A = this chain, B = another copy of it.
Amino acid sequence: MLIFTSDIHRQHHSAELDGGQLIPSWECPERIDVTLAALAKSHQLQQPDALDATILEQVHSPEYLDFMATAWSRWVDSGRTAQTAMGFCWPSRLPSHKPPTSIDGALGYYSMGADCGITEGTWAAALSSAAIAQSATTAVLEGEQAALGLCRPPGHHASSDQFGGYCYLNNAAIAAQQLRDSGVPRVGILDIDYHHGNGTQQIFYERDDVAFCSIHADPTTEFPFFSGHTDERGDGPGAGFTTNCPLPPGTGFDSWSEALGHCADQLVAHRVESLVVSLGVDAFVEDPISSFKLTTLDFHEIGHRLAAIGLPTVFVLEGGYAVGAMGSNVAAVLDGYEHE
């Protein structure tokens, strides 16, 4: 499979607040090193083209993009010395208000938490990650049956105007929007990351041209906590175009596989003509921050099943924190996909 990757992601490694302590984020540069090592033998690696940034404004608000582009310099200008810019309070359960102008207030307004922040290199890495998603999508539009964007930072938690969950620009949404802009009438997004793709859901929640399906840990007990329930099914013209399959802690492949079948049925029902897969591999049994029980063999089977959907497919990398096994799990999905 054609795989897009770039070194620019190394410029980003955020701190995160975890268990009341600031630690280097689980979402680390080594994730890409290990994945590349596992993929390099059997796949063709390629640098992305320069980003056509016009796509960003179709997915994110201008205010958010301006915030992201300037946040680090504002942080430094405000006299802060910490290497990760983070807010300290959020508009928690407050639906509407005015965006604050101070950097601390804006960090809260434009994010969902302290699980990640903005470093000196975050914006460059996020733009590079978006370029990777865009190039993978272009490859599929130009005739590849499938392509993988080794996106880092990941994207599916980033909404139209908030970062969080290690995500800053929504790569899956960028891919889906690009497919739409290129004439694909109906696009499906299948999010198989362990965590609900709240950002992707929010971006397309009121649209009927992009169907969003997600299999993830029940938000009652798992991040992102505040979305991903079954009764979130889209709104307005998008009513029915969002499908959430939350699963309980400890879920193994039997139940997971059933959910995949349900999502595949939904994508068929919505007659989507291209697919974007938010490819997290953190449903893996040994993932340090997850509770599902999928094995590397299961990921191989998932690849099979995704291929069987029979659609041109853009894979974008999302989560996966068992760094040692991450490459094998991504490779297993691709291998299963290519040898159905």
Which A positions have Cβ atoms within 8 angstroms of B? Answer: 15-22, 75, 80-98, 100-102, 104-105, 108-109, 111-115, 117, 162, 164-165, 219-227, 229
B221 contacts A101, CB within 8 Å?
yes
Instruction: For A16, give its contact among B87, B88, B94 (CB under 8 Å).
Output: B88
Instruction: Give complex CA distance A222, B86 in Å.
Output: 15
B18 contacts A88, CB within 8 Å?
yes
Which residues from chain B contact A81 at a C-beta distance below 8 Å? 19
For residue A15, which residue of chain B has the nearest CB? B20
A114 contacts B100, CB within 8 Å?
no
Instruction: Give complex CA distance A90, B111 in Å.
Output: 9
Instruction: Give complex CA distance A219, B15 in Å.
Output: 27
Which residues from chain B contact A224 at a C-beta distance below 8 Å? 89
Which residues from chain B contact A83 at a C-beta distance below 8 Å? 20
A220 contacts B88, CB within 8 Å?
no
Which residues from chain B contact A97 at a C-beta distance below 8 Å? 226-227, 229
- Give the interface centre of A19, A87, A91, A93 by most chain B CB atoms within 10 Å: A93
Instruction: Give complex CA distance A16, B104 in Å.
Output: 14
7 CB < 8 A contacts A-B = A19-B82, A89-B114, A91-B92, A92-B113, A100-B221, A102-B221, A109-B225
For residue A249, which residue of chain B has the nearest CB? B102
Which residues from chain B contact A80 at a C-beta distance below 8 Å? 19-20
Which residues from chain B contact A221 at a C-beta distance below 8 Å? 100-102, 105
How many copies of this chain does one complex carry? 2
Instruction: Give complex CA distance A22, B225 in Å.
Output: 23
Which residues from chain B contact A165 at a C-beta distance below 8 Å? 89
- Give the interface centre of A21, A81, A95, A219 by most chain B CB atoms within 10 Å: A21
Which residues from chain B contact A17 at a C-beta distance below 8 Å? 17, 22, 86, 88, 114
Instruction: For A225, give its contact among B16, B85, B104, B162 (CB under 8 Å).
Output: B104
Which residues from chain B contact A84 at a C-beta distance below 8 Å? 20
* Given known contacts A20-B82, A114-B114, A226 and B95 CB-to-CB distance under 8 angstroms: no
User: Given contacts A92-B109, A93-B96, A105-B219, could you give 18 more A-B pairs where the C-beta distance is less than 8 Å?
Assistant: A16-B88, A17-B22, A17-B88, A17-B114, A18-B88, A20-B75, A88-B115, A89-B223, A91-B93, A92-B113, A92-B164, A93-B109, A97-B226, A97-B227, A104-B225, A105-B222, A108-B225, A109-B226
- Give the interface centre of A17, A82, A221 by most chain B CB atoms within 10 Å: A17
